[in-house]
Amino acid sequence: MNATTNNVQNGGTSFTPRVDAHKRQKMEKYIVLLFILSLPVQGITQISDTLLNEALKKYPMLEICEMPGFSEKVLCGTLEVYENYFTNDGQKIPIEVVLLPAKTSNPNSSAFTLHWGGNGDAAKNKTWFFRPGRGADKIRMNNDVVLIDDRGTGASNIRCVAMDSLQPYSYAFVYDKELITDCLHEVKDKFNLELYNTPGVVRDYDKVRDWLGLEQFDFFGISYGVRVGLEYMRNYPDRIRTLTVKGCVPPGFNYINEMDKAIQEQLEILFERCKNDTICNTYYPRFKEELYELRDRLAVKPIEIDYELENGYSKKITIDDLLFRRIVGHQILNGDANEALPLLIHRANEENYAPLIIAGGDLSLDMPVFLSQFCPEEIDRFEYQAVNQTQSFTQGAIAEEKRSACDLWANMPNANWLNEPLKGVSQILILTGENDANTPIHMGDQIKDAFPDKSRHIILPYQGHGSSETVCQYDIISQFVDTKNLESLDTTCLTSIHPQPFAYELNLADSEFELYSGTYSNADPNKILELSKQNGIHYLMDEYSKWTGPSQLLYKGNHTFSLIDCERCKIVFEMDKGKPVQVKRIYGETTIFEPNN
């Protein structure tokens, strides 16, 4: 239901490594964003002032505004809705709306909107999907795009200091019992958490639709957003023109009994791939053995490490087998960085655990809202069936962390509405990543079975829950939204999707890395490059890091690095007398940097 990202913390001085928690994107697992950036950008169409003003006339309740990190002017506004839809009185909460106008003077009469999973996110953060020239930008050729605060995020954000002050700021540590308890005590008397549920989110979307004067949405739901889309269609069937769902969370999701089994299935696939892959089998021939040996060793004797924090201090972290199983489990659940796992396990086996901790992902969920939705909709609806611990690497760790958190969280009303049959009249495009352990293929099949005559299920080759590839899938989605025809979709682009290569590195001592560390500049002041070290990890930060966080560097020899989340991305140094004189950054296109002296 959630996805983790491969964002990391960094001790560099040029810019803050962790985006502020109130502004940070929940990028559904976008560990491999820089792989996306490696694709050439073609046919970028910027919206004209004429189209922007036409959109303003169409939506007079909005005003022209600018979004950080987004190169175009857009339209913004705020709608206040009742926190309590059952009584329609009392406190109101603000729902911020960002509208990206279509790049045509005659757009479709409906508008495209999305919910990207987890517990949702602020409207302004979702603009990341639609940056000019990127995959989802294609949607705007014929459609206005409406981005909406999901209640409990953005302008109505419910946060707790206990979570925001977590160090390191990693998803691997959020299921600490004391942390969950402190968070609940902090928010339970300030907010009516019962009202921040899926039905409330659905009503907010429909209120915004009505406020904007739209008859219908083309709704795109990712992960938990699939549930929102299905409930929207169930309750307001005539208001959904098309429904696209990806990484499916159907009513019968049954997270606690599915996830640990799905992780094991993907691990077995990864073991076999590594054995048959020249790079992986050469550098990490004992990947499977190291994984299990390390787990069993930590069960007998946990280790304690000093973890450097971004404030210059350090923190002692105890790594036991439970934490280890959780970290590995969540990386497999996302499925978009499986190829880095043999390297990470090998590093940990050599007692360098920091890269693995970072791989556990940045905390990208607003936990008070997430638990208030997840616990009644998943944990309370299904009876837990303990896994066979001798056959499962995680030994039930993923299910147990959720059960434990929900046992500590506030009691929520039963989500009995999920037991009702799905219904709707819209055509449904279903997308699932082949390597998605978080929402496996059979979850999408549940939706296909519920709508056999109105749906089509397409498997995205080699993709996980977050999906590193966006160009092909958004091409398919835009076709569907424009035509409403599932059968005529051109899916030939699927054949161009290839698996990521396995990550590997050559040894590079910290003293040798000092040759390359420092800041580099380009003639364009918006393009920046910095190499630095923290926790024994070599990092790269550039202008994309505000979206992705810093990336771990892997040394390949000959003064060349790749990125752990993008083996095809290269950082190549030209040296003279043992010092860098030029750096080539190759992300599909080549950008030249020079050292700052």
- 405 lies in some domain: no
- 28 lies in some domain: no
Per-residue confidence (pLDDT) for residue 241, from 0 to 100: 98
pLDDT tens digit sequence for 130-186 = 988 778 899 999 999 999 999 999 999 998 988 888 877 677 788 989 999 999 999
| Of 36-50, 135-149, 446-460, 514-528, the least confident | 36-50
Per-residue confidence (pLDDT) for residue 73, from 0 to 100: 93
Q: Any residues with CB less than 8 A from the CB of 559 and at least 6 apart, and which?
A: 516, 572, 573, 574, 575
- Higher pLDDT residue, 282 or 498? 282
Same domain, 83 and 150: yes
Per-residue confidence (pLDDT) for residue 360, from 0 to 100: 65
Q: Which of 319, 314, 308 is nearest to 351 (CA)?
A: 319
Per-residue confidence (pLDDT) for residue 359, from 0 to 100: 73
Where b means 16+ CB within 10 Å and e means fewer, 412-422 reads beebeebeeeb
End position of a domain, from candidates 435, 465, 494: 494
Q: Is pLDDT at 54 greater than 50 in this prediction?
A: yes
Same domain, 521 and 488: no
Same domain, 125 and 149: yes
Per-residue confidence (pLDDT) for residue 71, from 0 to 100: 85
Same domain, 489 and 518: no
Single-letter code of the amino acid located at 279: I
End position of a domain, from candidates 469, 494, 519: 494
Q: How far is CA 30 from its chain centroid? A: 5
Per-residue confidence (pLDDT) for residue 499, from 0 to 100: 87
Per-residue confidence (pLDDT) for residue 336, from 0 to 100: 77
Query: What would the mean pLDDT of 570-586 be, rounded to a whole number?
Result: 96
Same domain, 467 and 579: no
Per-residue confidence (pLDDT) for residue 470, from 0 to 100: 78
pLDDT band at 334 (very low <50, low <70, confident <90, very high): confident
Q: Any residues with CB less than 8 A from the CB of 256 and at least 6 apart, and which?
A: 378, 379, 382, 384, 399, 402, 403
Give the whole-angstrom CA distance, residue 446 versus residue 455: 11
Same domain, 520 and 478: no
pLDDT tens digit sequence for 215-236 = 999 999 999 999 999 999 999 9
End position of a domain, from candidates 434, 459, 494: 494
Same domain, 217 and 135: yes
- 264 lies in some domain: no
Query: What would the mean pLDDT of 39-50 be, rounded to a whole number?
Result: 62
Contact 306, 291 (CB under 8 A): no
Same domain, 127 and 240: yes
Query: CATH number, domain at 214?
Result: 3.40.50.1820
Contact 12, 530 (CB under 8 A): yes
Same domain, 208 and 98: yes
| Of 161-170, 362-371, 423-432, the least confident | 161-170
Same domain, 219 and 102: yes
- Both structure tokens of 229: 């889309």
Query: CATH number, domain at 528?
Result: 2.40.128.50
Query: What would the mean pLDDT of 451-464 be, rounded to a whole number?
Result: 95
- Higher pLDDT residue, 568 or 584? 584
pLDDT tens digit sequence for 496-546 = 998 889 999 999 998 999 999 999 999 999 899 999 998 889 999 998 887
- 43 lies in some domain: no
Q: Is pLDDT at 20 greater than 60 in this prediction?
A: no
Same domain, 483 and 553: no
pLDDT tens digit sequence for 371-425 = 999 999 999 999 998 877 677 999 999 999 999 999 999 999 999 999 999 999 9
- 364 lies in some domain: no
- 390 lies in some domain: no
Single-letter code of the amino acid located at 346: H
Same domain, 560 and 438: no
Percent with pLDDT over 90 in the chain:
71
Query: In terms of residue numbers, what domain contains 489?
Result: 49-157+190-253+415-494
Q: Which of 14-28, 397-411, 458-472 has the highest average model confidence (pLDDT)?
A: 397-411
- 517 lies in some domain: yes
Q: Any residues with CB less than 8 A from the CB of 484 and at least 6 apart, and which?
A: 241, 242, 427
Give the whole-angstrom CA distance, residue 170 versus residue 358: 7
Residue 406, helix vs strand vs coil: helix
- Higher pLDDT residue, 355 or 42? 355
461 upstream amide cis, omega within 30 of 0: no
Count of domains forming the chain: 2
Per-residue confidence (pLDDT) for residue 109, from 0 to 100: 94
Residue 581, helix vs strand vs coil: strand
- 241 lies in some domain: yes
| Of 124-138, 183-197, 321-335, the least confident | 124-138
